[in-house]
Chains A and B, each alone.
Chain A
Amino acid sequence: MPLLRLAPPAILRDDPWRTWDGTGPRPARGPVIVPRDRLADLAVRPLGVDLAPVDDPADLRPHLPDLALVRLHFAFPHDGRPHSQARLLRARLGFTGELRAAGALVLDLVPHLELAGFDSAELPALEEGDLAILARIRLPRIYAPEAGARSIWRARHAAGGGEAEP
């Protein structure tokens, strides 16, 4: 499956990460993404994990120092749950590794993934022309501070609460 790097947008044809679904021979080396309930079984690095939309990111807390990637799954394109998981991972659990979106994704929702702090997305089909579309449909900013450097409120009030213009 083609992989989209979000900022700046780029299509990666060779994903370094492999997936182990928990059956078959254990992978001997990383980078590998494994099911949540098999995290404790593997000592390979770099290590990534799959989270289902119903999973609680807080369950990853003991494993966070070992994790380089968390992959969040969208059950359908307008599934909002991974967006909350992404916020919890970043803001509450302090996860700084790669956040990857997977599942029922469509290109037109990529701008929201970017705002939510995702780094990459597995999309079913990607063409070079899609990068031009992404440039046209980009949403540069929202208000809330969770958007980090792209928060309008942060920009407005950075210089002592004046009416700064972008």
Chain B
Amino acid sequence: MYRYDAHDRELVRARVRQFADQVRRRLEGRLDEETFRRLRLLNGLYLQLHAYMLRVPIPYGTLRADQLRTLAEVAERFDRGYAHVTTRQNVQFHWIRLVDAPAVLERLAEADLAPIQACGNSIRNITSDPFAGVAPDEEVDPRPWCELLRQFLTLDPEVHFLPRKFKMAVIGARRDRAMIRAHDIGIRLWRDDGRVRAEVLAGGGLGRTPMLGQRLREDLPAEELLPYVRAILRTYNRFGRRDHLYRSRLKILVHDLGIERFRAVVEAEYAAGRDPELVDLGRRELARIARHFASPAHAVDAAAEEARLAADRRHDSAFDAFVATNVLRHRHPGHRAVVVTLKRPGAVPGDLDAAAMRLLADLAERHSFGEIRTTHEQDLVLPHVRAGALRALWAELAAAGLATPNWRRATDLVSCPGLDYCQLATARSIPVAQELARALAARGLDRELGELAIRISGCINACGQHHVGHIGVLGLEKRGREAYQITVGGSDAEDAALGTVLGPALSREEIVPALLRMLDLYRARRRDPRERFLDFVRRVGPAALREVIHAPTPARPARDPA
């Protein structure tokens, strides 16, 4: 895992010093709020409904145990004892006082964490596959490339003041576990006869105008990524719209120009601007970074580990159920990756208290080489666990309420903070998530429904990523009341798709029963239990579900046929 050297530390400390000075001048009334607002956003500080929120990027979703302990300490000393894992693999604190912000940043810097560019119109956290370096199907480990890009795009003046926020994701496998097509730039690294190539996509994004990224290059030699990404960003910085908040994302520029013309502009800039020194330094820096990501020593007696796991599974059905849902194969024999979902039914999706953070840090040190990952599904991963140690790990997780066997099941649902915290929200999303998860759990449906991605957003900005949920719920405001629109058929995987809206929005009271009716219909009509909800929707079409969503209830008379 990456550790700062003196150069990294010097850069972050200078940035903390700078922001501390700006906070002090703001508190003394010597810096106006409009100027300060822009500065604080680029330092991860966002004003929500009740307090400041501090967003801490977890670079490409990789966390060290000591970093997780630092986050626990920040939660206790400066917040209300908990933190929130976001859909972009970040961690947020929702109750930070402005006067404390410099001290928080100093504490984070000691653990190689920095909220630089966490908000604002710049390059946000570069996200990646939470199973990087672990997944058996991986062709290229994306983490060193993510770190190379992170450095390249940190505080660089040319990308610090873009027309709008900018999101990137990098993966190194065919399976897309980081939804690269929903990013401004999505990169898939692959291996061609030993050489690393990059498929580069551009112009994806959710929000109020959801679009899937389109391919710019299929097989860019990966060592050209820095100049190529520079060319995309320069094109965007120069020609992206700045006159309208909702027309400023890269996807709009790509859409307005068309992918062919956009590609032509990018390629011309790349050809004219390719700096051999940048390519050479990038190659050397990548080699330096890659040493930080050398695979930990996994030498074990794999057969003995597997035998132990098989025996443990036979003896304990609860453990067996957990392994069936939350444990994944590992590239190293005798090992597994373990998903700790932050989705106990009824809990706030993604919330994690300080005690749980410390426990997970301890468990990571004892069982996973001190590593933890965050996922865009608001879950955590312990990536390198010996098969024979799984049962002991599970027992400790279970005792802390962290062993819910629901990864990628219905109750592993994603939700933005919504109107409970967020200034942009038009409806609450957390209570809907809680009510739905409780209802699903009470009916024992997790197992029955199989793989199902439910995504809930509290406004059109789509932080809950409802467009790419197998089922999406979008919270709106209609005549002063919360209303919820359902989409179906979205996917955030390699078969990425945007969901289809199922008719007009429902009230807060109607939404959960409607979703349950829809799932009942699916269970009754699916071909067999292996047909996922998503496959079912693709087969029968979204229209088949429309009727049941708007089924007449006593409170809502049937509408006249249109």
Give the shortest distance, in Å, between A148 (CB) and chain B (any CB): 11
- Contacts known (A80-B162, A137-B21); A145 close to B287, Cβ less than 8 A: no
- Contacts known (A78-B38, A144-B156); A133 close to B21, Cβ less than 8 A: yes
Contact B22 A166 (CB under 8 A): no
Kindly state the separation between the CA atoms of A115 and B288 in the bound complex, as whole angstroms: 25
Answer whether residue A29 sits at the interface, using C-beta atoms and an 8 A cutoff.
Answer: no
Contact A91 B273 (CB under 8 A): yes
Enumerate chain B residues within 8 angstroms of A133, measured Cβ to Cβ: 21, 25
Enumerate chain A residues within 8 angstroms of B7, measured Cβ to Cβ: 141, 152, 155-156, 165-166
Contact B35 A106 (CB under 8 A): yes
From A116, A136, A151, A153, give the contact of B21 (CB < 8 A): A136
Contact B35 A152 (CB under 8 A): no
Contact A161 B35 (CB under 8 A): no
Answer whether residue A17 sits at the interface, using C-beta atoms and an 8 A cutoff.
Answer: no
Contact A112 B288 (CB under 8 A): no
Contact A77 B162 (CB under 8 A): no
Enumerate chain A residues within 8 angstroms of B194, measured Cβ to Cβ: none
Contact B10 A157 (CB under 8 A): no
Contact A84 B38 (CB under 8 A): no
Convert B17-52 into 0s and 1s, putting 1 for each residue whose CB lies closer than 8 angstroms to a CB of A: 110011001000001000100110000000000000
Kindly state the separation between the CA atoms of A145 and B21 in the bound complex, as whole angstroms: 28
Contact B158 A161 (CB under 8 A): no
Give the shortest distance, in Å, between A113 (CB) and chain B (any CB): 7
Interface of B is mostly: helix
Q: Which residues of chain A (67-85) have a CB below 8 Å from chain B?
A: 75, 77-81, 83-84
Interface size class of B (residues with CB under 8 A): 35 or more
Kindly state the separation between the CA atoms of A15 and B234 in the bound complex, as whole angstroms: 32
Answer whether residue B284 sits at the interface, using C-beta atoms and an 8 A cutoff.
Answer: yes
Contact B17 A163 (CB under 8 A): no
Contact B161 A166 (CB under 8 A): no
- Contacts known (A142-B11, A156-B285); A111 close to B18, Cβ less than 8 A: yes
Kindly state the separation between the CA atoms of A120 and B322 in the bound complex, as whole angstroms: 63
Answer whether residue B151 sits at the interface, using C-beta atoms and an 8 A cutoff.
Answer: yes
Contact B277 A145 (CB under 8 A): yes
Answer whether residue B297 sits at the interface, using C-beta atoms and an 8 A cutoff.
Answer: no
Answer whether residue A42 sits at the interface, using C-beta atoms and an 8 A cutoff.
Answer: no
Kindly state the separation between the CA atoms of A156 and B6 in the bound complex, as whole angstroms: 10
From A91, A136, A157, A163, give the contact of B281 (CB < 8 A): A157
- Contacts known (A79-B242, A141-B11, A154-B281); A163 close to B151, Cβ less than 8 A: no
Kindly state the separation between the CA atoms of A80 and B153 in the bound complex, as whole angstroms: 14
- Contacts known (A91-B273, A152-B11, A153-B285); A165 close to B5, Cβ less than 8 A: yes
Q: Please tell me the number of chain A residues within 8 Å of chain B, measured between CB atoms.
A: 42
Contact B11 A138 (CB under 8 A): no
Give the shortest distance, in Å, between A150 (CB) and chain B (any CB): 10
**Nearest CB to that of A142 among chain B residues?**
B155
Convert A62-104 into 0s and 1s, putting 1 for each residue whose CB lies closer than 8 angstroms to a CB of B: 0000000000000101111101101100011000000000000
Answer whether residue A46 sits at the interface, using C-beta atoms and an 8 A cutoff.
Answer: no
Enumerate chain B residues within 8 angstroms of A137, measured Cβ to Cβ: 17-18, 21-22
Answer whether residue A140 sits at the interface, using C-beta atoms and an 8 A cutoff.
Answer: yes
Answer whether residue B181 sits at the interface, using C-beta atoms and an 8 A cutoff.
Answer: no
Give the shortest distance, in Å, between A157 (CB) and chain B (any CB): 5
Give the shortest distance, in Å, between B106 (CB) and chain A (any CB): 15
Scoring B159, B238, B275 by chain A CB atoms within 10 A of each residue's CB, the highest score goes to B238
Give the shortest distance, in Å, between B236 (CB) and chain A (any CB): 9
Scoring B14, B272, B281 by chain A CB atoms within 10 A of each residue's CB, the highest score goes to B281
Kindly state the separation between the CA atoms of A2 and B242 in the bound complex, as whole angstroms: 28
Contact A143 B18 (CB under 8 A): no
Contact B158 A108 (CB under 8 A): no
**Nearest CB to that of B18 among chain A residues?**
A137
Contact B161 A78 (CB under 8 A): yes
Convert B220-235 into 0s and 1s, putting 1 for each residue whose CB lies closer than 8 angstroms to a CB of A: 0000000000000010
Contact B275 A91 (CB under 8 A): yes
Enumerate chain A residues within 8 angstroms of B285, measured Cβ to Cβ: 143, 153, 156-157
**Nearest CB to that of A136 among chain B residues?**
B21
Extra A-B contacts (14), CB below 8 Å, given A80-B157, A146-B278: A80-B237, A84-B158, A112-B161, A136-B18, A137-B22, A138-B18, A139-B11, A146-B275, A153-B285, A155-B7, A156-B7, A157-B284, A161-B284, A165-B6
Q: Could you list 18 examples of A-B contacts with CB < 8 Å?
A: A80-B160, A80-B237, A91-B275, A108-B35, A112-B160, A133-B21, A141-B7, A141-B10, A142-B154, A142-B157, A143-B156, A146-B278, A152-B151, A154-B281, A156-B285, A157-B288, A166-B7, A166-B10
Which B residues lie at the A interface, using CB under 8 A? 5-8, 10-11, 14-15, 17-18, 21-22, 25, 31, 35, 38-39, 121, 151-152, 154-163, 234, 237-238, 242, 272-273, 275, 277-278, 281-282, 284-285, 287-288
Which A residues lie at the B interface, using CB under 8 A? 75, 77-81, 83-84, 86-87, 91-92, 106, 108, 111-113, 115-116, 133, 136-146, 151-157, 161, 163, 165-166
